Amino acid sequence: MTLIQELESRLAAAFESVLGERVAAPVVAAADLRFGDYQSNAAMALAKQRKTNPRALAEQVIAALDLAGIGSADIAGPGFINFKIAPETYAARAKAQHADPRLGVPVTGAGRTVVVDFSAPNVAKPMHVGHIRSTILGDSLARIARCLGYTVITDNHIGDWGTQFGMITWAWKNGLNEQALLENPLQELLRLYRHASESAKADEAVREACRMELVKLQQGDAENFEIWQRCIELSRTGLDRIYDRLDVSFDHWLGESAYNDSLAPLVDRLVAEGLARESEGAICIFSNGVPEDPAKDPFLIKKDGEWTDFPMMIRKSDGAFNYATTDIATLEFRRREWKVDAAWYVVDHRQSLHFQQLFAVAERIGLGDMDLRHIAFGTILGTDGKPLKTRSGDLPQLADVLDEAVAAAATAVAERSRVDTEEERAALAELIGISAVKFTELAHHRLSDYVFDLDKMLALQGDTAPYLQYSVVRCRSIFRKLEEAVDLSAVTPVLSEDAEIHLARFLARYGEVVPTILDDHRPNLLANYLLELARANHSFNEACPVLKAEVAVRDSRLLLCDLTSRVLTHGLALLGIGCPEKM
Ligand code: ARG
């Protein structure tokens, strides 16, 4: 049990003895440590319901409260109950956490299967920084869910079937550079795409030729199909290179094209069931009047002060199927084949209407019991506060962004690091550069925009990955200086200094923080926790000598150091970030 759970159960028992009935009494970590470690406003909420005096109720509850073996409680203001945890409690918690391979993280997802749909770049257009947010967030959420005991399936639903292939095929036939394709497939495919799209803009005949290539592909033309297949394979190679660098992997790569054959029968079925109908030659899904409030109905939109239809199109008038059609087929497949209870879509906030419609359709086709989430995110900004762009005004390529971060990390490593060989320095720069990009992403609220500022991301003193990694390296270095082996499993810590108690307090919170991340899919809660833990560790290092202390104190502190480095390492791993041996 976490401390919060323990306090909640004791508090609920006290309320029950006062009120004569079982009530929920939520406890939260105190925001301001001057008032205590944890607090509850349950007395205020319950007194309000019962129209009694909150402070009087809180007093009765405290009198009935049994906190033996935990700490003490008092009342503040109109009826807040503040809890102070005894140092011995923290010491016992630290010992138990040290012995626990899960470091106190409870299992909350057992028996549940979730598919995490993330990254999903569009093939033959390279991944740009917009995809970086999805990739990093999605990977971290998958790791966290797995750690909490969910069965997690990761699926890279790449955009591998669409109008871009008409253009690529045309350009492929009119000037492919085979050598470039082998060396840097994503780059060459991008060049082809740009060449076609510029030519098509300038020349009606090219536009028509591109369209014809697409029609041929969709009708199963052998040559075009082969070109398409090579594009997919080569993109896959290029993408794998990036995912390797990011240490991201997928259980499946079922892109849009995987569902081609299910689209026509799906549309026919939806029409036959009366869920979709023809409109101006296209097939669409319309509002069914549920929900009653038009503002909450994703199939309605306000135009000139009037609510008008905003249908979801599932077949265009020329017979082609849409992104939406594929997403319905994909969801049905995931449910049928993988038996998932939940699907999390980590996709740009600009697609929010699409997902609202998709989820409403899910209700109508009998998938209403699924936990469907659009995990949206904002934009990455340049230092000028505008969406990040290259000097030529294009969206920057993900690979270039990573290279830039690694180059900046290499400069920092050359200036400050203690590693010896050139090879080690290069590996360290790669690790630090990528970690810095990941941590910046994960430390922000996913819905807010953030500025891509390499100096800030790499600062050893800031709220950064290198700061956390350095904290781990420092914890570990104490053990290298230790002259004898110490069996930490035999140590019961004794906490007397404030800095020790403060560190133990944050260590105990780890198991409370991790499950809350999935309440609203916000890894920034973990990132911020790790920063707080590292700061507590920093103060501990300043105030409490370890190796020079007498043996009992030394061993107690060694246990805190070891536990801190394990929690930091574990937490960083949940963010997809590794730690170096030396820095
Ligand atoms: N390929 C899409 C894009 O880049 C994202 C796909 C997200 N997943 C999904 N099931 N719709 O915008």
Which pLDDT score is estimated for 461?
A: 85
pLDDT tens column, 448-457: 999 988 889 8
283 in any annotated domain: no
User: What's the 255 CA to ligand 1 centre distance in angstroms?
Assistant: 9
Average pLDDT, the chain: 94
User: What's the 376 CA to ligand 1 centre distance in angstroms?
Assistant: 12
Peptide bond into 101 cis (omega under 30): no
| Mean pLDDT to the nearest integer, 305-320 | 94
| Mean pLDDT to the nearest integer, 390-405 | 85
Which pLDDT score is estimated for 506?
A: 97
User: What's the 352 CA to ligand 1 centre distance in angstroms?
Assistant: 11
350 in any annotated domain: no
Q: Is 159 in the pocket of ligand 1 (CB under 6 A)?
A: yes
User: What's the 347 CA to ligand 1 centre distance in angstroms?
Assistant: 7
User: What's the 228 CA to ligand 1 centre distance in angstroms?
Assistant: 19
3-class secondary-structure state, position 557: helix
| Mean pLDDT to the nearest integer, 16-35 | 94
Which pLDDT score is estimated for 399?
A: 87
Beta-bridge partners for 366:
none
User: What's the 332 CA to ligand 1 centre distance in angstroms?
Assistant: 16
Tell me: pLDDT of 383 over 90. Answer: no
| Token pair for 415 | 């200036």
Task: Output the pTM of the full model.
Answer: 0.95
Question: Which ligand 1 atom sits nearest the alpha carbon of residue 358?
Answer: 11
Q: How many domains does the chain have?
A: 3
Atom 5 of ligand 1: nearest residue by CA position: 120
Shared domain check, 531 and 443: yes
User: What's the 120 CA to ligand 1 centre distance in angstroms?
Assistant: 5
Quick check: 381 and 388 in contact, CB under 8 A? yes
| Token pair for 329 | 């087929």
Atom 4 of ligand 1: nearest residue by CA position: 121
Tell whether the torsion through CA atoms of 195, 201, 202 and 205 is positive or negative. positive
Which pLDDT score is estimated for 36?
A: 94
Phi first, then psi, for residue 470 (nearest 5°) are -65, -35
Shared domain check, 58 and 203: no
Classify residue 35 as exposed, middle or buried by CB count within 10 Å of its CB (0-12, 13-18, 19+). middle
| Mean pLDDT to the nearest integer, 274-293 | 96
Enumerate long-range contacts of 558-561, CB under 8 Å, 24 or more apart. Answer: 558/478, 558/479, 558/482, 558/486, 558/488, 558/491, 559/94, 559/95, 559/98, 559/488, 559/491, 559/493, 560/94, 560/493, 560/500, 560/503, 560/504, 560/507, 561/475, 561/478, 561/479
Shared domain check, 175 and 54: no
Cα–Cα–Cα angle for 143, 145, 148, rounded to 5 degrees = 110
327 in any annotated domain: no
Q: Is 157 in the pocket of ligand 1 (CB under 6 A)?
A: yes
Helix (H) or strand (E) holding 166, with range, is helix 164-173
211 in any annotated domain: yes
Tell whether the torsion through CA atoms of 257, 262, 268 and 274 is positive or negative. negative
Q: How far apart are alpha carbons 133 and 119 in whole angstroms?
A: 8
Orientation angle between helical segments 465-481 and 524-543, nearest 10 degrees: 40
Q: Is 345 in the pocket of ligand 1 (CB under 6 A)?
A: yes
Which pLDDT score is estimated for 185?
A: 86
User: What's the 356 CA to ligand 1 centre distance in angstroms?
Assistant: 14
User: Hey, which of 27-41, 229-243, 309-323, 558-572 has the most confident mean pLDDT?
Assistant: 558-572
Tell me: pLDDT of 138 over 90. Answer: yes
Which pLDDT score is estimated for 162?
A: 81
User: What's the 359 CA to ligand 1 centre distance in angstroms?
Assistant: 15
Quick check: 564 and 475 in contact, CB under 8 A? yes
Q: Is 155 in the pocket of ligand 1 (CB under 6 A)?
A: no
User: What's the 256 CA to ligand 1 centre distance in angstroms?
Assistant: 9
Which pLDDT score is estimated for 238?
A: 87
CATH of residue 507's domain is 1.10.730.10
Atom 3 of ligand 1: nearest residue by CA position: 121
Which pLDDT score is estimated for 10?
A: 97
Q: Of 64, 85, 106, which one is at a domain's C-terminal end?
A: 85
> How sure is the predictor about 423, in pLDDT bands with cuts at 50, 70 and 90?
very high
Which pLDDT score is estimated for 129?
A: 78
Which pLDDT score is estimated for 397?
A: 83
Tell me: pLDDT of 164 over 90. Answer: no
Q: Give alpha helix (H) positions in 257-370.
A: 260-272, 323-338, 352-364
> How sure is the predictor about 420, in pLDDT bands with cuts at 50, 70 and 90?
confident
pLDDT tens column, 195-215: 999 999 999 999 999 999 988
Which pLDDT score is estimated for 544?
A: 97
Which pLDDT score is estimated for 391?
A: 77
Tell me: pLDDT of 480 over 80. Answer: yes
Helix (H) or strand (E) holding 112, with range, is none
Q: Is 39 in the pocket of ligand 1 (CB under 6 A)?
A: no
Question: Which ligand 1 atom sits nearest the alpha carbon of residue 348?
Answer: 12
Quick check: 136 and 246 in contact, CB under 8 A? yes
Q: Of 230, 246, 262, which one is at a domain's C-terminal end?
A: 246
| Mean pLDDT to the nearest integer, 435-440 | 96
> How sure is the predictor about 186, in pLDDT bands with cuts at 50, 70 and 90?
confident
Helix, strand, coil percentages, rounded to 5, for the chain? 55, 10, 30
107 in any annotated domain: no
15, 101, 310 from 10: Cα distances, Å:
9, 27, 52
| Token pair for 174 | 């009119």
User: What's the 375 CA to ligand 1 centre distance in angstroms?
Assistant: 12
Shared domain check, 81 and 172: no
Phi first, then psi, for residue 154 (nearest 5°) are -100, 135
Q: Is 378 in the pocket of ligand 1 (CB under 6 A)?
A: no
CATH of residue 19's domain is 3.30.1360.70
> How sure is the predictor about 228, in pLDDT bands with cuts at 50, 70 and 90?
very high
403 in any annotated domain: yes
More confident residue, 206 or 461: 206
Atom 11 of ligand 1: nearest residue by CA position: 327
Question: Which ligand 1 atom sits nearest the alpha carbon of residue 159?
Answer: 1
Q: Is 375 in the pocket of ligand 1 (CB under 6 A)?
A: no
Q: Of 17, 50, 85, which one is at a domain's C-terminal end?
A: 85
Shared domain check, 420 and 531: yes
> How sure is the predictor about 395, in pLDDT bands with cuts at 50, 70 and 90?
confident
Which pLDDT score is estimated for 170?
A: 96
547 in any annotated domain: yes
Which pLDDT score is estimated for 487?
A: 95
Helices (H) and strands (E) in the chain, counts: 20, 15
Which pLDDT score is estimated for 390?
A: 77
User: What's the 119 CA to ligand 1 centre distance in angstroms?
Assistant: 8
Shared domain check, 411 and 512: yes
More confident residue, 131 or 471: 471
Q: Is 120 in the pocket of ligand 1 (CB under 6 A)?
A: yes
Q: Is 347 in the pocket of ligand 1 (CB under 6 A)?
A: yes
- What does DSSP assign to residue 21? S
User: What's the 272 CA to ligand 1 centre distance in angstroms?
Assistant: 28
Shared domain check, 172 and 81: no
How many other β-carbons are positioned within 10 Å of the β-carbon of residue 371? Answer: 11
Tell me: pLDDT of 128 over 80. Answer: no
For residue 15, the enclosing domain spans 3-85
61 in any annotated domain: yes
| Token pair for 484 | 């004898």
pLDDT tens column, 340-366: 999 999 999 999 999 999 999 999 999
Which pLDDT score is estimated for 125?
A: 75
Cα–Cα–Cα angle for 245, 251, 252, rounded to 5 degrees = 105
Question: Which ligand 1 atom sits nearest the alpha carbon of residue 355?
Answer: 11
| Mean pLDDT to the nearest integer, 74-102 | 97
User: What's the 158 CA to ligand 1 centre distance in angstroms?
Assistant: 7
Question: Which ligand 1 atom sits nearest the alpha carbon of residue 323?
Answer: 11
Atom 6 of ligand 1: nearest residue by CA position: 120
Q: Is 160 in the pocket of ligand 1 (CB under 6 A)?
A: no
Question: Which ligand 1 atom sits nearest the alpha carbon of residue 330?
Answer: 10
- Ranges 169-173, 311-315, 450-454, 554-558: which has the least confidence: 450-454
Tell me: pLDDT of 441 over 90. Answer: yes
Q: Is 324 in the pocket of ligand 1 (CB under 6 A)?
A: no
Residue to probe by mutation, ligand 1, list 347, 350, 375, most atoms within 8 Å of CB: 347
